[in-house]
Amino acid sequence: MALVQPMKKEDDRDDEEEYSPYLGIEKGAVLQEARVFNDPQLDARRCAQVITKLLYLLNQGEVFTKVEATEVFFSVTKLFQSKDVSLRRMVYLMIKELSPSADEVIIVTSSLMKDMNSKTDLYRANAIRVLCRITDGFLLGQIERYIKQALVDKNVVVASAALVSGIHLLQSNPDIVKRWSNEVQEAVQSRAALVQFHALALLHQIRQNDRLAVNKLVTSLTRGSIRSPLAQCLLVRYTSQVIRETASNNQTGDRPFYDYLEGCLRHKNDMVILEAARAITELNGVTTRELTPAITVLQLFLSSSKPVLRFAAVRTLNKVAMTHPLAVTNCNIDMESLISDQNRSIATLAITTLLKTSNESSVDRLMKQITNFMSDIADEFKIVVVEAIRSLCLKFPLKYRTLMNFLSNILREEGGFEYKTAIVDSILILIRDIPDAKESGLSHLCEFIEDCEFSYLSSQILHFLGNEGPKTLDPSKYIRYIHTRVILENATVRASAVSALAKFGALVEPLKPRILVLLRRCLYDNDDEVRDRATLYLNALESGSQLEDGGFRADKFVFGTLDVPLANLEASLQAYESSETPFDIRSVPKDVKSQPYSEKKAPGPKKPSKDAALPAAANEKSLHGAKSVDAYEKLLSSIPEFSTFGKLFKSSAPVELTEETEYEVNVVKHIYPGHVVFQYNCTNTIPEQLLQNVNILAEILEGDEFSEVVSKPLPSLPYNSPGQAFVAFEKPQGVYSIGKFANTMRFLVKEVDKDTGEVEEEGVEDEYQLEDLEVVPSDYFLKQTVQNFRNAWENLAPEFERVDEYGLGVKDSLNEAVQAVIEIFGLQPCEGTEVVPSNARSHTCLLAGKFVGDISVLARLSFGIDPQKQVAMKLAVRSEDQYVSDAIHEILSGA
């Protein structure tokens, strides 16, 4: 029996697990089942089950081809002949999800319009929703009178369906929906709560761009005509919006509509009371007198029997405590009772609020309560508590012992990486900001790294110990903890420990002999990084006294940074040839742009240049020259998939997607009026490998306007023989669409015999992650030189001119601001105006170029800088198209 019982429990657990009844269904099988829609004798139950499976596939991300979607759509339309109510609702859902094209919508229009005038209210409401979802502007004009009647229908479901459809239609057909204002205003006076709610939402959206109209709407409705609690909450939000907008123009100091918000605190519905209290607490410059009634109401909710009310109240008080902690102090007793609340979210908010509002005398009592609480909550809640404790300790520095002990105790408990990182960061901040806490804080950190399972945290603490430990009263006590890491930890932590030991040796002279002994032991480590660090620091510490006259100091070397750019140091090391003369770091140029040794690198396999993907004619000029654009256009037009994209507007300079790795990939962005093509130039630098079927997967991370239309893989990529793969995206015509793309290279790897050159028949599928790629606004502008800017400016139509002023913030110089703006726009500076005279307080820069579609654009930028180095700029833009003039300003606003 003892052997049978565990098996039974396991079976019971399996039975309790929930599985979707449609898990694992295949699209092809379901499409075969959809033929049941064509049966002469319809089985309503079976048809509903098949529609459910189709909806499941669609919601799981399954993509139907155009042919499949069309076949399913026409089959579903035949179900209108059934009178089954449940099946009819499923048909409505299916039509909405399929989103038929304009020519297909006509098939169901008559059936839906018939349902819209049906005596069955359920049919009418759903038909309105579906029609408004799939219709275009032309059809909407034909059914407009039916929708206007539905807006004031006596049936609540029908009226709400029409109002919600109006909210959606306002985005695509605003002119038509705005004509319904009278009917919507009548619906606002409805006695039905749901109708009133939706009507108010639609009416506000119709008027939202007219500040005076919104003000009149709020003024009329705050007099008591709103009965629906949901609508009342909406009205409170709109009232708060009006208060914020009118506060800056109000010179009397009186806050309009505050009496209305205060009156809502006495509403019979809890939802309205909470919304009003939250609105009052979020008012700009709210005073204690205005806060008091809202805080009183929230305090009452803290003792409510409903968890949702307690949560809403304590969350609002938590936000208020950030700006007005004294106003929340009266609620502390009620919040202390919430520490033991069964809902851990409520308890966490209560604790963090108490930590923000408590006084120094209550810290000890509060920490005792929190200690029992911490073991019952998840890591994400613990992190919030830790951050609040850190703020409390900085607020009351004298309580650092209590709070530091609490942090060290929870540091030794179980927890994830983010939780432990939050604790360690808090202790480090307290050590830096509270000098008295340094000794105890370092001791706690030393004990923690004895059992730390995260290499990152161990390295961070060792680095901090190396910086702060030598400055303590007794630095020797930390040596044992650091050296133990050299013995027991992995290579990453060992390397950090070697650096920490060297810092003690550099700053604490009495410890130097002991440190040298420990570093010599590290010379036999099995990791080259550890050995190299030990060798470097040994030479620095042993040679420090000998080279003192030459200006070398071991402490500055150990704690300092290199005085030369790493790129120059790398070039110098590669150019250095072994000889009796040792390498001298002082010979490395310190100028960032200077790389005199780049031509002396040791010979190796010749790497393809970035221009290798271009035909020979393209290499005669830079990538921005006319010949290179022509060469790219010939290359792309020869590919059938791209031949219909139109004229190539611009090709960017290659952007590197890899560093010095086994595969080198850079990408060129080709801009068309309605498409963007990425040309991935790939090179295989491994002689023993042949790559086949090289495909680049470009995933859209940001940029909803892009949609992939073509992906052209590279059939074969032999060693050191460049090849190109392409991915094309469609975008709106003539619009600067920006986006970010994640790139992954997938391929089949086949081994190659270096001696015979034979390729193995079997290969291995592999992939290689590339850097992300961005399409930025400057990609859509082409530099163009203008000989006479003034004449060109006057020749452009002044009606398409837009002028605005901007604050660019603090800059080191006017030249920095000018160069930054030129880089953002990607336009050509004219008449030498990109050069700013030294010590100039103002400057005018002239830019010219063409926008995608060969639309000329000119910009005149007037800069000014004040004594505080605040830079202001006036931007005037003229173009052949108003969209382009506005686009230049939008680019600068979003930069």
Nearest to 159 by CA among 113, 136, 193, 130: 193
Residue 199, burial from CB neighbour count under 10 angstroms (0-12, 13-18, 19+) = buried
User: What pLDDT does 7 receive?
Assistant: 41
- Give residues with Cβ within 8 angstroms of 678, minimum separation 6: 667, 668, 669, 670, 696, 698, 726, 727, 728, 729, 741, 773
Average pLDDT of the segment spanning 458-469: 90
Residue 761's contacts (CB-CB under 8 Å, 6 or more residues apart) are 750
Q: Which of 247, 234, 239 is nearest to 201 (CA)?
A: 234
* DSSP per residue, 364-381: HHHHHHHHHHHTTS-HHH
Q: Are 157 and 192 in contact (CB under 8 A)?
A: no
The pLDDT assigned to 780 comes to: 86
Tens of pLDDT, residue by residue over 611-630, are 444 443 343 333 334 445 66
Confidence of residue 571 (pLDDT cuts 50, 70, 90): confident
Residue 19 binned pLDDT confidence (cut-offs 50, 70, 90): low
DSSP 123-180: HHHHHHHHHHHH--HHHHHHHHHHHHHHHT-SSHHHHHHHHHHHHHHHHH-HHHHHTT
* Neighbouring residues of 529: CB distance < 8 A, sequence distance ≥ 6: 491, 495
- 185/162 Cα distance (integer angstroms): 14
Q: Which residue has the higher pLDDT, 556 or 260?
A: 260
Residues pairing with 366 in the sheet: none
Q: Residue 683 in 3-state DSSP?
A: strand
Q: Kindly tell me if the per-residue pLDDT of 460 is higher than 80.
A: yes
Q: What does pTM read for this prediction?
A: 0.52
Q: Are 651 and 668 in contact (CB under 8 A)?
A: yes
797 vs 622, higher pLDDT: 797
- Please classify residue 871 by burial: count the beta carbons closer than 10 Å to its beta carbon, then call 0-12 exposed, 13-18 middle and 19+ buried: buried
Greater confidence (411 vs 669) lies with: 669
Q: How far apart are CA 421 and CA 386, in angstroms?
A: 10
Inform me whether the pLDDT recorded for 27 exceeds 50: yes
Give mean pLDDT, residues 562-566.
Answer: 73
pLDDT bin (cut points 50, 70, 90) of residue 894 is low
Counting beta carbons within 10 angstroms of the beta carbon of residue 95, is it exposed (0 to 12), middle (13 to 18) or buried (19 or more)?
A: buried
Of the candidates 140, 82, 141, 131, the one whose C-alpha atom is nearest the C-alpha of residue 107 is 131
Range with the poorest average pLDDT among 35-39, 219-223, 361-365, 613-617: 613-617
- 34-58 core/surface letters (b: 16 or more CB in 10 A; e: else): beebeeeebebeebbbbbbbbbbbb
91-95, 393-397, 599-603, 674-678: range with lowest mean pLDDT = 599-603
Asked if residue 669 lies in contact with residue 755, where contact means CB atoms within 8 angstroms, the answer is no
Highest mean pLDDT among 343-347, 518-522, 609-613: 518-522
For a pLDDT cut of 90, what percent of the chain falls above it?
12
What local confidence, expressed as pLDDT, does residue 754 receive?
A: 75
CA distances from 314 to 78, 321, 787 (A): 55, 10, 66
pLDDT of residue 558: 64
Which pair of tokens denotes residue 199?
Answer: 């009507």
The rounded distance, in Å, linking the Cα atoms of 92 and 90 is 5
User: What's the pLDDT at 597?
Assistant: 39
Average pLDDT over residues 641-651: 85
Query: Residue 495: its pLDDT value, please?
Result: 92
- pLDDT in the model for residue 235: 92
Nearest CA among 76, 160, 151 for reference residue 112 = 76
662-714 pLDDT, tens per residue?
888 999 999 988 899 999 999 888 888 888 899 999 998 888 888 999 899 99
Predicted confidence at residue 253, as pLDDT, reads 52
Answer yes or no: are the C-beta atoms of 747 and 766 closer than 8 Å. Answer: yes
pLDDT tens across 29-81, in order? 888 888 888 888 888 899 999 999 999 888 888 888 888 888 888 888 888 88
Helix or strand or coil: residue 348? helix
User: Each residue of 95-151: pLDDT tens digit?
Assistant: 888 877 766 777 787 788 888 888 888 888 888 888 888 877 677 777 888 888 888
Q: What's the average model confidence in pLDDT over 756-779?
A: 86
Q: What is the pLDDT of residue 234?
A: 92
**Mean pLDDT across the chain, nearest whole number?**
82
Choice among 252-261, 453-462, 729-738 with the minimum mean pLDDT: 252-261
Taking phi over 0 as left and psi of -120 to 50 as alpha, with beta for the rest, 720 belongs to left
Q: What is the model's pLDDT at position 363?
A: 76
